[in-house]
Amino acid sequence: MSGYFYMNFEDPRLYPFEDNDFTRLDQVVLETGANSLYFDEIQVVDHCEGYIRRKLDEGYKVIITGSNASLLSRELGSKLTGRHISKELFPFSFSEFCDYKGFSHGPDSLTAYLRTGGFPEYVKSGYDEILGHLFEDILIRDILIRYGVRDIKTLQRLAQYLISNIGKLVTGNKLRKLFEIGATSTVMEYLSHMEVSYLFYFVSKFSYSPKKQLVNPRKVYAIDPGLATVNSGSFSKDTGRKLENLVFLFLRQKYHQVFYFSETSECDFVAFDQKGKLQEVLQVCNTLDRDNLDRELRGLKEALRFFSRKEGYIITLDQTDELKTEGMRIQVVPAHQYLAGPLHD
């Protein structure tokens, strides 16, 4: 056998895909002589995990892709334990965006990326409708239909609120009151569905206590800056919070865990590797000036003291500097320079 076979299970012509259709699929695969099988969105098919396991046992190489994080956790994890390697595929990073567009790394290309984001089809065309439809498709296809959510209007209003408030703190109880939802548990289910569907991330406050991580407010970030720009209902540019969102996405791909730190003052990010070792302490702001310097330094220094570290970063739009205070070294780094660094050390 040689070659490959591809099938998109969201193709309407396959509806409804039933158990006996796997036999027909076997016949087609056999006729092609393929030894590599590429299945897109196969998690929408009932009992797909058993079929994938069987094809692996028969010696096929199977690659499956899906837009939902539960693809290899709940549905496939139990049947494929020890038999699969999972990879997350994000929209274009800043560096990939620059490579595709032929831009050099600098403030102008960074500003363009904050507006456009990294979804390839949108980067290519620039049509806002693409990201508008994508936002709605995720809500309908990956959340409403998949999880049987009945209140579409509340789900849409909640998602609209979150995408308009990236970088801000949210709690289930406050959102429950704001949208008049019956129970906080329902709100938390909605948030979980949105995170599993790669629409938002919710970053916990750092604590050595897992219980405290759960009860404290969390910061919300979008999967893509362009998705936030197009779908946000905010009338301000929010450049600082979009920059913070962008730095989070970089850290999210580079490190095992990312938290915000807050005792008496707030530090935007503390990032840890797989062994639980602190790697970076960062503050993010659009422009560092006399009005915000003390505030930005206060939160950063408090985090550095807490972790007994001597070096931290302030990521800005285009400033470069080095500050030394209380035995600590603070590097002010332009975001385009920081984000151009490697995702994996």
**Sign of the alpha-carbon torsion through 175, 181, 186, 189:** negative
172's CB contacts (< 8 A; 6+ apart) are 184, 185, 187, 188, 191
Both 55 and 168 in one domain: the answer is no
Number of structural domains found in the chain = 2
134's CB contacts (< 8 A; 6+ apart) are 119, 227
Both 234 and 264 in one domain: the answer is yes
Report the share of the chain in percent with pLDDT over 70. Answer: 94
Measured distance CA(100)–CA(98) in Å, rounded: 5
Both 276 and 231 in one domain: the answer is yes
Both 242 and 141 in one domain: the answer is yes
Q: Residues 40-51: what's their mean pLDDT?
A: 83
pTM (two decimals): 0.89
**pLDDT for 70:** 59
Question: What letter does residue 143 receive in the DSSP assignment?
Answer: I
Residue ranges making up the domain that contains 21? 4-77
Position 86 in a domain: no
Both 98 and 71 in one domain: the answer is no
Domain boundary among 77, 108, 124: 77
Both 41 and 119 in one domain: the answer is no
Measured distance CA(56)–CA(80) in Å, rounded: 10
Tell me the average pLDDT of the chain: 91
Both 72 and 103 in one domain: the answer is no
Measured distance CA(345)–CA(211) in Å, rounded: 31
Both 113 and 61 in one domain: the answer is no
Both 273 and 126 in one domain: the answer is yes
Position 15 in a domain: yes
Position 290 in a domain: yes
Question: What one-letter code names the amino acid at 302?
Answer: E
Position 145 in a domain: yes
Residue 341 has pLDDT above 90, yes or no: no
**pLDDT for 69:** 64
Measured distance CA(67)–CA(114) in Å, rounded: 23
**Sign of the alpha-carbon torsion through 337, 339, 340, 343:** positive
Phi, psi dihedral angles at 74 (to 5 degrees): -75, -55
Both 184 and 42 in one domain: the answer is no
Q: Give the pLDDT confidence of 49-102 residue by residue, as tens digits.
A: 888 889 999 999 999 887 766 555 555 666 666 667 778 889 999 999 999 999
Domain boundary among 47, 77, 107: 77
pLDDT classification of 345: cutoffs 50, 70, 90: low
Measured distance CA(122)–CA(95) in Å, rounded: 16
Q: Residues 331-338: what's their mean pLDDT?
A: 96
Both 158 and 49 in one domain: the answer is no
Question: What one-letter code names the amino acid at 39?
Answer: F
Both 50 and 101 in one domain: the answer is no
